[in-house]
Structure 1
Amino acid sequence: MFFSKVIDRLALYDLHRKRSTAKHFSSFSADITDREEFYKAHAAADVSINLSGSDADYKIGTFSYESLFPSGNLVNDTLEGEVYLNEDEIDKPNIIFVHGWRMDSYDRIKKIFHRRIMKDLGWNMYYYSLPYHFEREPEHSLYSGELMISADIDRTVESARQAIVDLRGLIHWIKENKAGPVVIVGVSLGGWITNLIATLESQIDVVVSIFYANRLSYSIWNTIPGKFIREELEQHGVTYEELVRYWEITDPSQAAPKVNKDNILLISAKHDQYIHLDDANYLWESWGKPERHLYNCGHAGIVLCRKKMASDTLSFIQKKLKR
């Protein structure tokens, strides 16, 4: 336990070496009454596939489309992710990977799953970019994801909305254009998005959420990664109780999943300093305790436990898709 916490603390120290210098605060103004309408994708995304290479039995390239819920920032409103399509792709499963906050590449996720899927399983893979990350990061942003989660209360909610609406648009496009099932695998903040979309989208066949965030308000107020955002909120008089209310619409534990509970796998770390186990437990219990693995590590288990993570995740998906 001590070793796991030390590794996480060192990583967090490095994380905060680069932090926002600009002030982001904005007060809450949204009046949200209908959760289903708020996150609704009114159409499939108009996805363009650009294949530029190959590797073994795979065609490799990018997919891109314009956001279905534009933020008004032109850079952020054009999505481009990586795609790996099996040459015999007709009925292959389609795996969408959703990355974590402040990641600036897909490398951490790829090191867990990528080669094993290509070598042993032959599934189609899509790497989805969250708002304000990667190529969607505006020029004035200090780091990838700075503008997605911040003390700008409204923009944080709208970023969650954009992430969900655009991800649903991609899922609908896959369902219309590919024959295989759709699987979503989210890591860290990507796990939060994955959990949230599982409460809204019935066309997902399997969900795996790894070291996931649950209540964004809890994470910002009670964990080290959120301490500077909390500090800015408090400077403007925002209380924890108010933030819970403002961000309730982004809370996956407020609704039951629309994905079959038997097809959901949750993975958490006992000594996680980024995402507290108490909050991860809250979601697991509110969802009726779907299958779960608890790893004896911290958040750094994304690196240190990746062989086990890959084995547990891919075995679960294979088992569910064989039914």
Structure 2
Amino acid sequence: MKLLKVIDYAAIVDMHRTRSKESHYNHLPIDVGNRDRFFSAQPIDLQFHINNHTANLESGIFSFNSSIKSGEDKNDKVSGEVFLRKESKHKPNVIFVHGWRMDSYDRIKKIFHDKIVKNYDWNIYYYTLPYHFNREPQNSTYSGEHMISANISRTVQSSQQAIVELRGLIKWIKENEGGEIIVVGISLGGWLTNLLATVEKHVNIVVSAFYANNIAHSIWNTLPGKYIRRDLEKHGTTHEELDKAWDIMNPSKAKLLVDKENVLLISGKYDMYIDINDADTLWNSWNQPKRYLYSCGHAGIVLSRNRIAADTLQFIESRLKK
């Protein structure tokens, strides 16, 4: 256990070598109003740019304009990687949602990609979160810096943008391709996948690994959020105020719309990025769907990737057969 925590701690120290140079603090009022309306699905004009063809697979980039405008042109253009079967219609569609500060899809691909391409007749979409990868603004210090920060209202809007975009993508797939919708999220992507599962009834299967639940709690009580917390406290924000401002982003406060039997949660017992008690809160609030507790830390995303792949793909396969 100590070694696992040391590995996580060393990774956090290394992560914090790159951190925000200036304060992001801002707390402009944001009227979220009705939750369903705030996260409502919007139609998208999805474009494919296919540049690679094999015997049974074609791949390239998908793109569309976000219906939520952040004011950052780069951030408001959504793109991701897509891998479509030659006969793609009515096949299962897997959407992957990556983690905070990731700067490529590589970690997720190393877990799942080759196994899916080789063994399953599924379409694959790799979605890019707001302010990450090519959506990162010019003045950003690291990928995802502007998504989760002491800018309280922008963080809420970023979650809105991600959920609305994912719902738009799902709506397009359902209307144009058909087939089951499977969403797999890792770390921050796991939290957003859980949030999506409380507003989008057309998701058939959800897998969420190493997820947070209450982002305000994570910022206040875990090491990855310490510099954001410091920025907030410097400007007089309390944990209670942050918790209230970010309440709409808390999936445990909302009803699960996906069939509970089609939800798999994965957590690490010794995760220093995610408070296991916070992960427990979500699991209990959703009446304890299927869950795996690994004896690892957040580094299990790398160190336990074969197990993550096996557990996830077996679960998806079993639910698709129902």
TM range (shorter): over 0.9
Q: CA offsets per residue over residues 112-139 of structure 1, 9 Å max, x none? A: 0000000001210000000000000011
Q: Is residue 28–residue 246 contact of structure 1 (8 Å, CA) maintained in 2?
A: no
Please list the CA deviations of residues 236-285 of structure 1 after superposition, one character each: whole Å capped at 9, or x if unmatched. Answer: 11111111000001100110111111100000000000001000000000
Match of 2:94 in 1: 95
Paired with 1:55 and 1:13, the residues of 2 have a C-alpha distance of: 42
SS in 1 for 2:156: helix
The answer to whether the aligner puts 1:303 opposite 2:297 as a matched pair is no
Q: CA deviation at 1:56?
A: 4.8
Q: CA deviation at 1:28?
A: 4.5
Q: Which residue of 2 aligns with 1:38?
A: 38
> Matches of 2:86 and 2:226 in 1, distance apart?
47
Task: Tell me the distance in 1 between the aligned counterparts of 2:39 and 2:201.
Answer: 13
Residue 309 of structure 2: SS of its match in structure 1? helix
Match of 1:2 in 2: 2
Counterpart AA for 1:284: W
Post-superposition offset of 1:55: 4.0
In the alignment of these two chains, the number of paired residues is 322
Q: Work out the CA distance in 1 between the residues paired with 2:76 and 2:305.
A: 32
Deviation at 1:91, TM superposition (A): 2.1
Tell me the distance in 1 between the aligned counterparts of 2:54 and 2:19: 38
Give the match's secondary structure for 1:259. Answer: coil
Measured against aligned partners, the alpha-carbon deviations of 1:53-109 in whole angstroms (never above 9, x if no partner) come to: 024521010000000111111000001100000112122100000000000000000
Q: Which residue of 2 aligns with 1:219?
A: 218
Match of 1:148 in 2: 147
Q: Counterparts of 2:317 and 2:158 in 1: how far apart (Å)?
A: 32
| SS of the residue 1:292 aligns to | strand
Partner of 1:71: 70
Quote how far apart the aligned CAs of 1:111 are: 0.3
Aligned to 2:240: 241
Instruction: Report if aligned partners of 1:102, 1:144 keep a CA contact under 8 Å in 2.
Output: yes
Residue in 1 aligned with 2:179? 180
Letter in 2 for 1:178: E
Deviation track 1:126-159 (CA, whole Å, cap 9, x = no partner) reads 0000000000001110110000000000000000
Question: 1:133 corresponds to which residue?
Answer: 132
Structure 1, 22-31 or 173-182: larger mean CA deviation: 22-31
Alignment of 1:152-231 (within 5 A): 152-231=151-230
1:124 aligned onto 2:126: no
Unmatched 5+ residue regions in structure 1? none
Aligned to 2:84: 85
Name the amino acid aligned to 1:27. Answer: H
In the aligned structure 2, how far is the partner of 1:57 from the partner of 1:188? 31
Amino acid corresponding to residue 271 of structure 2 in structure 1: D
Work out whether residues 48 and 64 of structure 1, in 8 Å CA contact, stay in contact via their aligned partners in 2.
yes
**Aligned equivalents of 2:303 and 2:51: distance in 1?**
33
- 1:245 and 1:296 map into 2 onto residues whose CA distance is 33
Which amino acid is 2:27 matched to?
Answer: S
More displaced 10-residue stretch of structure 1: 304-313 or 19-28: 19-28
What's the TM-score, normalizing by structure 1? 0.98
In structure 2, distance between residues paired with 1:254 and 1:126: 28
